[in-house]
Chains A and B, each alone.
Chain A
């Protein structure tokens, strides 16, 4: 597609449930990022993929959060045993390569609400 595509756009789930958020990056982009944006805050880094491997997962808050990118394109962010504090917009982004000089392009995010 022309831009970074994220599904679902909105997701409401019950506390304790499992959630998957999908990201389809810009075609040809090797680097993919996940960020989390809480209300009234700037986005916070979660994880960065270069190709199929997670090059930096230092932003994942705990072991309930996991992300994969098995074929180096689409990525899935997985959240187990969701908590109310996980409610946020989850932004996916991609860049042509991983270097700092490459522009990062964002999707419109998946708004997760845990009730």
Chain B
């Protein structure tokens, strides 16, 4: 079974600085997708960024970028120029690809990292 591990329960960053959130995962599948979701107090999970495992290039979305190391099964999120609105819980998630014999394709989440942004 696939697992996702986020080893940092809480992180803190100064406004305008850069912070990196860690995520590792375990799988025997060769094709899959990885995601970072943000969950503010409103509880709605908001997609921040996604990475297809078959793509070697790291995904980037404005101030958010990932460092995807497939061999190490590592998928960290870097937030640049942190803003007060970035404060939230961040969840790393894995989704297998049923087209390649993987799981049903449903999201498997880590336990989350609570990010605080100091003004």
Q: What is the interface of chain A, defined by CB distance below 8 A to chain B?
A: 33, 35, 40-45, 48, 55-56, 58-59, 89, 91, 93, 98-101, 103-109, 111
Q: Is the CB of B52 within 8 A of A108?
A: no
Name the CB-closest residue of A to B50: A103
Instruction: Say which one of B64-72, B74-82, B98-106 lies at the interface with A.
Output: B98-106
Q: Find A45's partner among B52, B99, B108, B110 (CB 8 Å cutoff).
A: B108
Binary A-proximity of B79-108 (CB < 8 A = 1, otherwise 0): 000000000000101011111001011111
Interface size class of B (residues with CB under 8 A): 20 to 34
Given contacts A103-B47, A103-B50, A106-B45, contact A42 B106 (CB under 8 A): no
Interface pairs (22), CB distance under 8 Å: A41-B112, A42-B4, A42-B91, A42-B110, A42-B112, A43-B109, A44-B109, A56-B104, A89-B43, A91-B43, A100-B98, A100-B102, A101-B33, A101-B52, A103-B50, A104-B47, A106-B45, A108-B43, A108-B44, A109-B43, A109-B44, A111-B43
Query: A103 to nearest B CB, angstroms?
Result: 6
Q: Is the CB of B106 within 8 A of A45?
A: yes
Nearest 5 A-B pairs (CB), nearest first?
A: A42-B109, A106-B45, A100-B105, A56-B104, A100-B97
Name the CB-closest residue of B to A107: B44
Q: Is the CB of A100 within 8 A of B95?
A: yes
Q: Is the CB of A55 within 8 A of B104?
A: yes
Name the CB-closest residue of A to B96: A100
Q: Is the CB of B45 within 8 A of A43?
A: yes
Given contacts A101-B52, A108-B42, contact A33 B111 (CB under 8 A): no
